[in-house]
A and B are shown apart, each in its own frame.
Chain A
Amino acid sequence: EDQVTQSPEALRLQEGESSSLNCSYTVSGLRGLFWYRQDPGKGPEFLFTLYSAGEEKEKERLKATLTKKESFLHITAPKPEDSATYLCAVQRGSQGNLIFGKGTKLSVKP
């Protein structure tokens, strides 16, 4: 059964304190792995797509990496405005739907 597990469930950081969020997955025929940011009561905002092991993508203070079993979202020197829930999702080769994890709720204190 396809499964996506994110850890930790919640993470509290001080402003400037770098850290990483983990997304472990089991899926047959990975088509793509996606990272989204979601603010309370809003729809998910697209961040990155990763397609193959070894791939990396960066956007401002965020960097996403992918291996055959997991993905990491690295946050460098976070700011309070980075506080949000970060969702990881996978897409199987034969289907178009996304399978989401429960997310990691990130809080960055000034």
Chain B
Amino acid sequence: ETGVTQSPTHLIKTRGQQVTLRCSSQSGHNTVSWYQQALGQGPQFIFQYYREEENGRGNFPPRFSGLQFPNYSSELNVNALELDDSALYLCASSPRTSGNNEQFFGPGTRLTVL
């Protein structure tokens, strides 16, 4: 069974640029959630996708957007990057079955904005 994978591992961008991060969900999982984790903080929920539709969003501006594909993989896009966007971006997948709410995380993408 393949776990959650994310790419790239690290990324360096400058202010104002745009970035796309990618996530492949664990086999059998149809729900993907994205989180932002600043240094020394817990992960903060960005949004969740279920069957290619956004299914909940945290307190993040519209320049954070996402997609989910028919194979349940997902992308996180961030436009007009700001210095505060520097963080570890985590993708988590879950099976979305009744009574099974565990979310399994990928290794993350470390984004540095200069």
Contacts and interface: CB of A to CB of B under 8 A. Distances in A.
A contact residues, range: 20 to 34
B100 to A, nearest CB: 9
A34 interface: yes
A95 B44 contact: no
Interface stretch (B14-22, B65-73, B103-111): B103-111
A65 interface: no
A83 B13 CA distance: 32
A91 B101 contact: yes
Task: Tell me if A's interface is mostly helix, strand, loop or mixed.
Answer: strand
B101 A100 contact: no
Interface string B73-108: 000000000000000101010101000011111111
Contacts of B42: 4, 87, 89, 100-103
B110 A41 contact: yes
B45 A42 contact: no
B58 interface: yes
B62 interface: no
A38 B91 CA distance: 14
Contact of A42 (B94, B103, B107): B107
Interface in A3-32: 4, 31-32
A98 interface: yes
Interface of A: 4, 31-32, 34, 36, 41-46, 49, 87, 89, 91, 95-103
28 contacts: A32-B101, A34-B103, A42-B108, A43-B107, A44-B43, A44-B105, A45-B105, A46-B102, A46-B103, A89-B42, A89-B43, A96-B31, A96-B48, A96-B55, A96-B94, A96-B101, A97-B33, A97-B56, A97-B58, A98-B33, A98-B35, A98-B92, A98-B103, A100-B35, A100-B42, A100-B43, A101-B42, A102-B42
Given A34-B102, A98-B45, 10 more contacts: A4-B42, A41-B108, A42-B108, A46-B102, A46-B104, A49-B101, A89-B42, A89-B43, A91-B101, A98-B33
